[in-house]
A = this chain, B = another copy of it.
Amino acid sequence: MAPRALDYESLNENVKKVQYAIIFTNVGNPHALGQKPLTFPRQVVALCQAPFLLDDPNVGLLFPADAIAKAKHYLALTTGGLGWSVEGAYSDSRGMPGVRKEVADFIERRDGYPSDPELIFLTDGASKGVMQILNTIIRGESDGVLVPVPQYPLYSAAISLFGGSLVPYYLEETENWGLDVNNLRQSVAQARYKGITVKAMVIINPGNPTGQCLSEANLREILRFCYQENLALLGDEVYQQNIYQDERPFISARKVLMGMGPPMSKEVQLVSFHTVSKGYWGECGQRGGYFEMTNIPPKTVDEIYKVASVSLSPNVPAQIFMGLMVNPLKPGDISYEQFIRESKGILESLRRRARMMTDGFNSCKNVICNFTEGAMYSFPQIRLPPKAMEAAKKAGKVPDVFYCLKLLEATGISTVPGSGFGQKEGYMENYSSHFSPFVSEGGFAPPPILFFCGVFHLRTTILPAEEEMPEIMASFKKFNDEFMEQYDDRGGYSRL
């Protein structure tokens, strides 16, 4: 019998090519690891879901007056002023105009340059926005997109799905995962040699999984490079609130671009992404995000609007979260103190955890780890002694899988080994081989681990509860150092 439409052999090849690890612990999912949501936005969205509460004389017993006022504000933004229906009706496919205006105001306050709400689209999480923009750009396999390696797998997956070509550029671990524009030039030259038209470049700032924060000077070089090479820049800035050092505060690609003046500020096409899922919000399950377009012609904006409208509208509760995120409480508001206490508490704890994790890794034998300057991940390098490699070979395992399995057995810390792809070649090929057997078993959610290339790496989130962190790191160190001792070969690499 002929294969049926939904038999595996009949499927869209681009779907099959997508490499994405179905690893639940592979994502930064703060609330699943114990981070409590901020109280105020939850109060506001609860009232928007149940606006009849506003007519209840007892509402003031459960909700503070500023949450009630904010809920009324968002309920009034709905089409036709049908307050009680705001969350139940499709919004404009770009998101509610009132919220997009709040986003534009936020961007203007942040960057010091005006932003146009008509060029801001709300999305069901930043990922959906990234996918829509890549789908708009990519025409076929000869269209390339520059993506940092190591990268967040959304980019490789989406580029495969849309049938384009990923053009890797390599972050320099010894330069604290910095980006060297010469590497970019090389990547573009190699891609062109293969007949690929490089159309766009992705930056993730702060970096995922690498945690570095780009400097203004570096961003300027990147933008100049995009100008020279005629590339659109996709700025994944979802971790802009997650900064754990003071030397390089977050600066948006848009601010840097505007500061460069014409012709660049008028020419370079930039799409910037943000989300309610990260920062001290961590509202992953709500699926709220936005993208802002700079120097994108109106006809293209219309096309993007058209495609967005096919799936009607982004979910409305998350649009309200976005409004609340970009327009936070101010001193004097009733809930302000609580809001600051909660949000500062989360960020300061993350900063301490970033430090604990980096220091923990660096105290281990044969482990080197750059400090997590931002985002939510630690990305240590682990060097295996030759004897460990031999033992792995004997066990029929590639060395890093061997290490990760041993770690899992000894400590219960789930690690996600992927093998056989060099840092500079074939990185994408083996992504889907990552698998965590640990995911669905509930209980303690261990730090997820990724690695790549001949040099062995792990990605762990810094999200486990702060009070559990010393134990996790002690457990890791005990395993690692015993492992290194066991396979030590003339003292191992740590003495070299």
A-to-B contact residues, CB < 8 Å: 1-2, 4-8, 10-13, 15-16, 18, 20, 22, 24, 27, 29-32, 34-37, 39, 42-43, 45-47, 49-50, 52-53, 56, 58-59, 61-62, 78-82, 84-93, 124-125, 127-128, 131, 135-139, 153-154, 157-158, 161-162, 199-200, 230-232, 267, 269, 271, 277, 282-287, 293, 295-297, 299-300, 303, 305-307, 309-318, 432, 440, 442-443, 445
Contacts and interface: CB of A to CB of B under 8 A. Distances in A.
A71 to B, nearest CB: 10
A22 B89 contact: no
Nearest to A442: B80
Nearest to A288: B315
26 contacts: A5-B269, A6-B232, A6-B300, A10-B139, A11-B139, A12-B136, A12-B137, A16-B303, A18-B307, A22-B306, A31-B85, A34-B82, A36-B84, A53-B62, A58-B62, A59-B62, A62-B62, A80-B445, A81-B442, A127-B310, A128-B311, A157-B307, A158-B310, A285-B315, A286-B316, A287-B316
Given A90-B32, A158-B310, A10 B85 contact: no
Q: Which of A62, A86, A137 gathers the greatest number of chain B CB atoms within 10 Å?
A: A62
Given A269-B5, A300-B6, A91 B49 contact: no
Contacts of A81: 442
Nearest to A42: B50
A80 B32 contact: yes
A286 B315 contact: yes
A53 to B, nearest CB: 6
Contacts of A153: 310
B310 A18 contact: yes
Nearest to A124: B124
Nearest to A163: B163
B92 A24 contact: yes
A42 B49 contact: yes
A310 B50 contact: no
A489 B26 CA distance: 72
A44 B52 CA distance: 13
A6 B295 CA distance: 9
Nearest to A309: B22
Contacts of A137: 5-6, 10-12
Given A6-B269, A61-B62, 5 more contacts: A30-B89, A88-B285, A131-B311, A284-B312, A286-B315
B62 A56 contact: yes
Q: Which 4 A-B pairs have the closest CB atoms?
A: A31-B85, A285-B316, A31-B88, A46-B50
A300 B125 CA distance: 26
Q: Which of A32, A311, A318, A440 gathers the greatest number of chain B CB atoms within 10 Å?
A: A311
A32 B161 contact: no
B85 A6 contact: no
Nearest to A231: B5
B88 A286 contact: yes
B27 A312 contact: yes
A286 B87 contact: yes
A269 B10 CA distance: 13
Nearest to A47: B46
A81 B299 CA distance: 48
Nearest to A28: B90
B36 A85 contact: yes
A370 to B, nearest CB: 26
A489 to B, nearest CB: 40
